[in-house]
Amino acid sequence: MKVRHYLFILLLTHCSISFGQDWVKYSDSIIWNITNSNYSKAKDFLSLAEKDLAQSNFKKDTVYADFLYRKGLLSYFQDENPEMEFNESIAIWTSSDKINLKKLMRLYYFFGNYFFDVKNYDKAYQLYLLCYETGQQINFDSISDFKEVTYHLYLIERWENSNNSEAVKWSKVYIDFNKNQAVKEFNFRFVQAYGFVHGEVKIIELLEKYLKSYYDREIENELLIQKINFELMNSHYFLDNYTETINYGEESLNIIERNGLSPNSDKELIYSLLIIAYQQIGDNINQEKYEQLKRQYFPNVNEIDYYDELDRLIKTYDYSAFESQFKIYEEELKKEKNYDELVSIYMLSLTLFERSILYDKVTIENQISFLELHRNKLSAESNVIFDLLIAEYSFFTQDFLTTLKLCNRNLEKAGDDFKLIFLKFKAIAERMLGLPNANETAYKTIAFSRELFGSNNPQILPYLILPLSINNYGTDNRSTAIATEALQLIYAHNLEQTDIAAQIWYLLGNEAILKNNFKDAERYFKKALTIYSNQEQVTNPSLYYSCLLGLANTSLLQAEYVICWSYLEKARDFIASQNNLMTIAYGDYYDALGHYYFYQDDFFNAKIAYENSFSFYGEELSKGRKMNLILCNYFIEMNVEKTIEQLEGFYQVNGDVSKVLKIIYILKFNTGQDAEARKLLLDGIHQVISNNDSYFHLLSDAERETLYVDFTDEFEFLNTHLLLTNNQEFLEEYLNLRFYFKSLLLYNTKQSNTKNHLKIANYKQLKENTILLNTYFEQSSDFSNEIEELQHKNRELEKSLSNGKSQLESPTLKSVKNQLMDKEAYVEIIRINKQSRSATKDKLNILNKFTDSISYGAFIVKKHGPPKFILIDSTSALENEFLKTYQNYSKGTQKFKTDTSSYNVFFKPVENALKGIETVFLVTDGVYNAMNTESLYNTEKNQYVIEYLNIKPILSARSLTKEKELDASVESGKAILIGNPDYELVDFSTPNPEEMVLDPSISMVLRSNDFSRTISYLPGTEREIQTIFTILEADNWDTELYRLDTATEDNLKKVASPKVLHIATHGYFIGDESLTSSDDKLFGISSNYVQDNSLLKSGLLLAGAQNTIDGHTIPLVNNGILTAQEAKGLDLKGTELVVLSACETGEGDRLIGEGVYGLQRAFMLAGAKSVIMSFWNVNDDTTQRLMTYFYTNWIEKGIPKYDAFRLAKLKLKDEFPEPFYWAPFILIE
């Protein structure tokens, strides 16, 4: 029975003129009951009318024509033939001189509907056209009841007549009639017509308007909202937008199931489209889920798709059933000569062959031979698929040349989807053949996949990871960006447990190893291994054994030899269990076995293993793997010249694989070939820089630090050559390289202004993770697993945030000189640990790289003239003797006496090269990081250096080449002042003195209590921040003051880009000796965590810190101790100055060449332009005076920041002459 949702609109009751005949009244009742869908009653009245007509003498006029229309209409709605009644009614109306066009329109419309339903589209079209033309005579536009006729005309022209021009005409008419009401009425016919004219993208835009209207009007109609989502699913599927297909399809499905709706045809289609969509994005888990649901609810027993059925048996691991069904289908298809279908099921047998299941080489080759005999019977598309089958088989049997030929042959004729697959095989085959254009093909494949699918579509993943697949030796510097992009797509589309994710985890593990990031490598390999281990049958045996070997490698590189061996055994046993694996699997195993022996210095067994691997790899694949074999021969024979010659040959063929240049350099330097060694070293450093320029800015902070430390060796080697040559060209090249080197660690992933929603979300997640990480650090329980997981996740987020950032920009000698004025000089101190000439290998390490000899020198760069290098000391005395002397006079027992010796040893050689210079931009290294050169006393001038020379400490040359200050003073802005914290927020009982003894290697100002580690209060800081507050307020600064119980870590972490952040409290630094002598928590953090993280060794003490040190919990979110790790996460973007008016805030680990790795670097990484910090425990009162003088100069008087601070120190010096009072603080930029 037909049900028309527009029935009530169309069937308006017609009131006939009564002639006193009952059949006329019955006719009116017929139409009334039809209008109300009461067809049985309508039929009763029809019987009465016909009975009366049989007894009446009636006239076949228009009244009777109305009766015939109603009778025909009743037949139509009861699925009976109304032709006779409608034809007679039309004949009466068209011959009458009292024609009613609206009634005639109605007749044409329903008569057309009848023929449309019975698929007599020619007749239907004629009647619909008559309806429309009749309506045109009476202002059709105003008659809403019959506008649907134009939709039917559009449908017939489009689908039956294939007349697109006429279909467009009628759809436009329909659109014009309905455009004002379509969204309001949720007219889905309008959607189809609109899309036909304007395209599928416009359909989506229109449906999104429907969706918005639905929610804006707060409608509650589950069928309607399901329909909207269903149509959006269809439209996105049509455009290959599979992620949106999934979103709307699953929402539509949820509505159906949530409300018990029963649109089964919709549900079946939803399942079908979700299966395809998940397959396209590589989510095999959800694909299989919906395949099972479809089979469960919609079993199709009448129609068997051979491929789908066999594919299902593979996915359910029912290989016995597969084998028997395959034979049946194969015979049927051969009998039917259906070779196209045969190609598709042979692709499945190849899949099982690759997994060493059921089929062997003979079987597959027989299948290929059979199809070759009937190739001319294959369709064009099946010919392409057949070539793809042969290409894949050839690749798997290591016939890479055949694979490449087939790929090249099909690139022009294959459709886009197959073209992508051929490009993928082409890139890998080229790599296996050692062809130089493999990378180019890989990136061409990526570009083509993005063109087809878009950059944010997970369908590109199988092609995006190509560069990672062929980057065996780490020579492709673009792979880091690719790895980050793949990572983002995996997480964005929840694909972490899928087969494609397993491939990506494995490749990311390889990528991490290349960056010496062994923790992440191990994690990625295990994630991939877990996916395969959870499968009943491993779907990718090659990747499975590769993951085992990857884990063996990461264990080996972390000196975990027992674990390494266990993974090697598992890999060996798995490879042996597979019948059809590529023979290079054995090459991979023996190569890993060779590493196992090599890195334990068992060179004889290592050599045997490497040689075995080459027999499986073949000549081409062995080329880049021969370096360790050469080194095995060296350690066995100890023939230096032969080894150098072989390594140089290896370098010529492969480039700087495995840092071969570094090995050649060491061998040449050991044998006194200094000039040649220096050239090699410089070449190697330039190669590292070239690599870094490509990917350094895309790494996580931890990975950058790892690479930096790894790079340190090369630079320390280079320092030695400053003692061996004074060649001017070398000195200038050295300086440019050093500027680059010192710029590395100050590059960070701080969020820039971005409107990218994903990056904003990632930055927010990074902050939340960091907060949680710091919380774990502060707990007594063991949260090492949680900490490791969060650190790993943060590294991934940092890489995600780095993606799209600009490359590292480093200063050059030219740019430094351009920034200097005539009476200015750039001075950089160089600590030189002289290189040994007896370096040798010990397992994973190179021993005896350096001697015990420590020299110091300095580079002097002026506006004009070449740079100069001067030697300050070559006796190691600066570190062994003179630093202690300086510290004794500056803060020790001699602090009230004048130090007459330190100037001569530390600064006089430098100053001798500074004739005519008034301002020095000073970069320090080594022991100079622990001193303030301004405090050195020149006995010849009877003055401290600060009195006659303007020393401006900077972290690196980058600070100098930044844009100089344009204004004399900083403009008014936001200032945050924190001081005089209430260290003991809660009054707990006195701690046990034996448990609370402070480790003597921890620097901090304390009260003089013998057995307590009680933080001394700083009443002078109260006056300090109050005075500064007054100065800033007078200059219209927006100033916030936190003191006593409000001077909390919680409030400090809430700051958002202040212009000035002034913190007046204690700082601390934990020395290495305390880490070996104490198992306690150090400043609220387990010493185990502190040992592995330099940024946990220093920090600031805020309100509640005493309670935390005593082992108590305070009623705040944070524990009152801000570590440098936490400081790095503060929001200081645009902050002009951070003042750490505290003791020992300049302390930290001293990384060679990078200065103090503590609070100063943390605040600068957080965004601060410059930092004021201290070298030693400061006097409370004099610090308050110094800060007051500084802010008065800077804010009130408008003196530039550096000069304001120097003048403040000079004024304090007039009051307190000893450096102990005025010299602990420096301003560094």
Q: What is the CATH number of the domain that holds 1139?
A: 3.40.50.1460
Q: Is residue 144 one of the residues assigned to a domain?
A: no
In terms of C-beta density within 10 A (0-12 exposed, 13-18 middle, 19 or more buried), how is residue 1139 classed? buried
**Cβ atoms of 699 and 707 closer than 8 Å:** yes
Q: Are residues 1037 and 1132 part of one domain?
A: yes
59 SS3 class: coil
CB atoms within 10 A of CB 148: 22
Q: Are residues 992 and 906 part of one domain?
A: no
For the segment 1179-1220, what is each residue's pLDDT rounded down to a tens digit? Answer: 778 888 888 999 899 988 989 999 999 999 999 999 999 999
DSSP string of 239-292, one letter each residue = TT-HHHHHHHHHHHHHHHHHTT---HHHHHHHHHHHHHHHHHHT-HHHHHHHHH
Q: Is residue 446 one of the residues assigned to a domain?
A: yes
**Cβ atoms of 88 and 68 closer than 8 Å:** yes
Q: Are residues 982 and 948 part of one domain?
A: no
Q: Are residues 1018 and 913 part of one domain?
A: no
- Which residues constitute the domain of residue 445? 292-454
Task: Looking at 892-977, list the stretches that DSSP marks H as alpha helix, in order from N- to C-terminal side.
Answer: 902-906, 908-911, 945-948, 957-961
CA angle 127–131–134, rounded 5-degree value: 130
Return d(Cα 155, Cα 443) in angstroms, integer.
45
Q: Is residue 998 one of the residues assigned to a domain?
A: yes
Residue 492: per-residue pLDDT:
87
1219 backbone φψ class: left, alpha, beta (φ>0; ψ -120 to 50) = alpha
Residue 143: per-residue pLDDT:
59
Tokens describing residue 785: 């697993």
Residue 1148: per-residue pLDDT:
45
Residue 679: per-residue pLDDT:
93
Return d(Cα 1, Cα 925) in angstroms, integer.
92
Q: Is residue 585 one of the residues assigned to a domain?
A: no
**Cβ atoms of 200 and 219 closer than 8 Å:** no
969 backbone φψ class: left, alpha, beta (φ>0; ψ -120 to 50) = beta
Total domains, the chain: 5
Q: How far is CA 865 from CA 40, 826, 860, in A?
A: 110, 13, 10
For the segment 957-967, what is each residue's pLDDT rounded down to a tens digit? Answer: 888 876 444 33
Question: Residue 1225's beta-bridge partner residues?
Answer: 1174
Tokens describing residue 986: 């809660």
Which 8-state DSSP code applies to residue 928?
A: G
Q: Are residues 1055 and 1203 part of one domain?
A: yes
Residue 805: per-residue pLDDT:
60
Tokens describing residue 513: 């190893």
Q: Is residue 399 one of the residues assigned to a domain?
A: yes
Q: Are residues 408 and 373 part of one domain?
A: yes
Which residue, of 454, 471, 497, is where some domain finishes?
Answer: 454
Q: Are residues 874 and 793 part of one domain?
A: no
Which residue, of 60, 80, 99, is where some domain finishes?
Answer: 99
Q: Are residues 1208 and 1088 part of one domain?
A: yes
CA angle 781–785–788, rounded 5-degree value: 120
Q: Are residues 867 and 828 part of one domain?
A: yes
Cβ neighbours of residue 691 under 8 Å, at least 6 residues apart? 477
Instruction: Determine which helix (DSSP H) or strand (DSSP E) holds 922, and give its type and residue range.
Output: strand 919-923
Residue 704: per-residue pLDDT:
73
Q: How many residues does the chain have?
A: 1229
Q: Is residue 988 one of the residues assigned to a domain?
A: yes
Return the biggest CA–CA distance within the chain.
144
Residue 426: per-residue pLDDT:
94
Q: Are residues 872 and 1007 part of one domain?
A: no
Q: Is residue 670 one of the residues assigned to a domain?
A: no
Which residue, of 802, 831, 858, is where some domain finishes?
Answer: 802
Task: Looking at 298-360, list the stretches that DSSP marks H as alpha helix, in order from N- to C-terminal side.
Answer: 306-315, 319-336, 339-354
Give the full edge-to-edge strand order of the sheet including 1098-1101. Answer: 1002-1003, 1067-1070, 1098-1101, 1121-1123
Look up the pTM and report it.
0.77
Four-residue CA torsion sign, 62, 63, 68, 71 = positive
Question: Low-confidence residues of the chain, pLDDT below 70?
Answer: 1-21, 139-146, 263, 300-304, 473-474, 694-695, 697-698, 745-759, 763, 776, 778-781, 802-808, 962-971, 987-1013, 1072-1081, 1086-1088, 1092, 1142-1157
Return d(Cα 1091, Cα 822) in angstroms, integer.
46
The amino acid present at 1103, given as its one-letter code, is A
Give the position of tokens 């003239």.
Answer: 865
Q: Are residues 987 and 935 part of one domain?
A: no
Q: Are residues 1194 and 1151 part of one domain?
A: yes
**Cβ atoms of 378 and 367 closer than 8 Å:** no
Cα Rg for the chain, rounded, in angstroms?
Answer: 41
Q: Is residue 30 one of the residues assigned to a domain?
A: yes
The amino acid present at 1037, given as its one-letter code, is W
Q: Tell me which residue of 538, 549, 541 sits closest to 588, measured CA to CA.
A: 549
Give the full edge-to-edge strand order of the sheet including 850-862. Answer: 868-873, 850-862, 824-835, 919-923, 950-953
